Amino acid sequence: MNPSIDDTPDYAAALRLDGRAFVVLGAGQGIGRQAAHAIAGCGGRTLCVDVDPQRADEVANATGGVAASGDATKRDEMERLFTQAHDSFGRLDGLVDIIGGAQFGSLADVDDVAWDREFDHNLRHAFYAMQIGSKLMDQGGAMAFVASVSGITGAAKHAAYGAAKAGLMALVRSAAVEFAPLGIRVNAVAPGSIGTPRARAVLGPEGIARSGANAPLGRVGRPSEIAAALLFCLSDLSSYMTGQTLVIDGGVAAKFPYGARSDY
């Protein structure tokens, strides 16, 4: 029997993932590592995938998950990884895909190799994850992907990366429509500047400080704050949400760029 519209659900229970199994792609550090911890903390089981076997082992040991390593841009590798997850847990209820990264460059100068790399590194694996994962999620479930505000707004030297992330968000919408009859929801989060290990290494302390100053909240985001949004997307708290991208950028996109001067 369907619950009455007047029934009050158990909201805390709706966050729980007990008995469910997930693949976390890119689990070795940063947002992926925190996502594995978030799922495990709510009772879910995880196949912790990273291209670096040592990082995969470390996060799996810390979260009680199963470690796996492979190249997510290769179809046969992704088929092996998802089969391993299903065999390990006897079921598959969802996935988190945080794989991505940018090599910024001028649109006028980007070559074919760089263009293809951005699409492989930021989009191809998501296509594989959706296609392969959906065939193993025979009890329904949820998929959550990490996009970027670069796929929503324009910025110099972000053309290839932004186009790939915009493609990811379009793919999320299409997958949400196609997979809905299977009971599978598909959503994404679009982070702004997040203080991941990679970002801190690339930007340095000064770059991180500049990014933080640009946000109305006055700081860069933490990987755990993106993992929390991914957890929401996987849980029953978001049971009527699919095909959406949540922007998590500290308020940057909401800010009028000219500041508070009275003459504007």
Catalytic residues: 161
Q: Ranked by mean pLDDT, which of 92-96, 194-198, 206-210 comes out on top?
A: 92-96
Give the pLDDT mean for 54-65. Answer: 98
Determine whether 101 is exposed, middle or buried from the number of CB atoms within 10 Å of its CB (0-12, 13-18, 19+). Answer: middle
The full set of domains in the chain, from first to last, is: 17-195+225-248 (3.40.50.720)
Residue 263: is its pLDDT beyond 50?
no
Taking each helix axis as running N to C, give the angle between helix 112-119 and helix 159-179, from 0 to 180 degrees, rounded to the nearest 10: 30
List pLDDT tens digits, range 228-245: 999 999 999 999 999 999
Residue 25's H or E segment, with its range, is strand 21-25
Residues 6+ apart with CB under 8 A from 60: 27, 36, 46, 48, 66, 67
Side-chain half-sphere CA neighbours of 202 within 13 A: 12
Q: In whole numbers, what is the pLDDT of the chain averaged over residues? A: 92
Strand-strand pairing, 245-248 and 184-191: parallel
pLDDT reported for residue 71: 95
> d(Cα 264, Cα 258) in Å, to the nearest integer?
8
Beta-bridge partners for 194: 221
Q: What is the DSSP string of 47-112?
A: EEE-SSHHHHHHHHHHHT-EEE---TTSHHHHHHHHHHHHHHHS---EEEE---------TTT--H
> 55-69, 146-160, 196-210, 211-225: which has the minimum mean pLDDT?
196-210
How many helices, marked H, and strands, marked E, lie in the chain?
A: 9, 7
Give the pLDDT mean for 94-118. Answer: 90
Other CB atoms closer than 10 Å to residue 29's CB: what's the count?
18
> d(Cα 150, Cα 169) in Å, to the nearest integer?
11
| pTM of the shown model | 0.92
Give the pLDDT mean for 135-163. Answer: 91
Confidence band of 264 (pLDDT split at 50, 70, 90): very low
pLDDT reported for residue 87: 97
